[in-house]
């Protein structure tokens, strides 16, 4: 049962769930990635970017681990319960992501292009769930920033969500915006660079929900 909700933005809807993970769960997911046990079978890779040129390669500078559903039961069950789902067959592969000092993810949309969102391979991404596994102070950077959404009553301010250990961020990358457009451009966001002097890396777990059943392809097996 989740009790600590914050509505960060109404249209498009952006929610924070501050009691999503316990501290112990956060620590286990970091440990599972950095020191995997034999049966965890996590698949580590440099985080994917869009394109292959130097500009694209510099877009995202983090490290990603892919996990089998069975090894992340807390994430899968809580994510499904949060969205009122009876099963987990619409979720993409569970991931944990590490951002070290100066690492970032520049402006991007989570929604997929028409060629990537055929119903036969899961359809469009309908929800993004990020779970912060570590705390970062504002001075340490690492915030999730929505460029076109305002924060509070200050229209000029961008919505900025600072990592809070155990808190989840939920938004819907294809739920509205321009009619007949397969994504909501208002959800454009970035992962702010972690500060050069930060004593703490930024760690997150992330999941995307698809429209139709999805078959995981990573990690192998």
Q: What is the pLDDT of residues 55-88, one digit of tens each?
A: 444 577 889 999 999 999 999 999 999 999 999 9
d(Cα 205, Cα 20) in Å, to the nearest integer? Answer: 12
CB atoms within 10 A of CB 2: 13
d(Cα 100, Cα 29) in Å, to the nearest integer? Answer: 16
- pLDDT score of 75: 98
- pLDDT score of 34: 86
Q: pLDDT above 90 covers what percent of the chain?
A: 73
Confidence of residue 50 (pLDDT cuts 50, 70, 90): very low
Confidence of residue 177 (pLDDT cuts 50, 70, 90): confident
- pLDDT score of 156: 57
d(Cα 191, Cα 200) in Å, to the nearest integer? Answer: 15
Q: Assess whether pLDDT exceeds 70 at residue 148.
A: yes
- Over residues 200-207, the mean pLDDT reads 98
- pLDDT score of 52: 45
| Residues 6+ positions from 63 with CB-CB distance below 8 Å | 44, 45, 46, 47, 97, 98
**What confidence tens digit (pLDDT) does each residue in 99-131 have?**
999 999 999 999 998 889 999 999 999 999 999
Q: Assess whether pLDDT exceeds 60 at residue 172.
A: yes
Partners of 16 in the β-ladder: 6, 169
What is the pLDDT of the chain when averaged over all its residues? 88
Q: Assess whether pLDDT exceeds 50 at residue 4.
A: yes
Q: In what order do the strands lie in the sheet with 202-210?
A: 5-9, 14-17, 168-171, 125-132, 202-210, 94-99, 63-67, 43-46
- pLDDT score of 55: 47
Confidence of residue 214 (pLDDT cuts 50, 70, 90): very high
- Over residues 197-206, the mean pLDDT reads 97
Structure tokens at 216: 């995981």
- pLDDT score of 182: 75
- pLDDT score of 144: 98
Query: Which burial class, exposed, middle or buried, applies to 121 when counting CB atoms under 10 A from its CB (0-12, 13-18, 19+)?
Result: middle
Phi-psi region of 122 (alpha: psi -120 to 50; beta: other; left: phi over 0): left
What 8-state DSSP symbol labels residue 60?
A: B
Residues 164 and 132 sit within 8 Å (Cβ to Cβ): yes
- pLDDT score of 181: 76
d(Cα 25, Cα 5) in Å, to the nearest integer? Answer: 19
Confidence of residue 89 (pLDDT cuts 50, 70, 90): very high
Considering only CA atoms, give the Rg of the chain.
17
d(Cα 115, Cα 92) in Å, to the nearest integer? Answer: 17
């Amino acid at each position: 049962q989740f009790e600590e909700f914050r509505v960060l933005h109404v249209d498009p809807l952006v929610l924070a769930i501050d009691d999503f993970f316990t501290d112990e769960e956060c620590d286990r997911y970091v440990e599972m990635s950095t020191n995997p046990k034999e049966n965890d079978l996590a698949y580590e890779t440099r985080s994917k970017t869009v394109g292959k040129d130097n500009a694209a390669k510099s877009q995202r500078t983090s490290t990603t681990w892919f996990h089998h559903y069975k090894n992340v039961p807390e994430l899968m069950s809580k994510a499904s319960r949060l969205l009122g789902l009876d099963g987990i067959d619409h979720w993409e592969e569970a991931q944990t992501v590490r951002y070290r000092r100066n690492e970032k993810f520049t402006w991007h949309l989570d929604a997929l292009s028409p060629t990537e969102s055929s119903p036969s391979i899961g359809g469009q991404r309908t929800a993004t769930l990020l779970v912060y596994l570590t705390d970062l102070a504002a001075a340490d950077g690492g915030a999730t920033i929505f460029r076109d959404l305002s924060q509070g009553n200050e229209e000029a301010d961008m919505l900025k969500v600072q990592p809070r250990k155990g808190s989840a961020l939920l938004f819907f990358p294809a739920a509205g915006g321009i009619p007949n457009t397969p994504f909501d451009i208002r959800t454009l966001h970035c992962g702010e660079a972690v500060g050069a002097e930060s004593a703490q890396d930024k760690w997150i777990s992330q999941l995307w929900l698809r429209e139709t059943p999805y078959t995981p392809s990573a990690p192998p097996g």
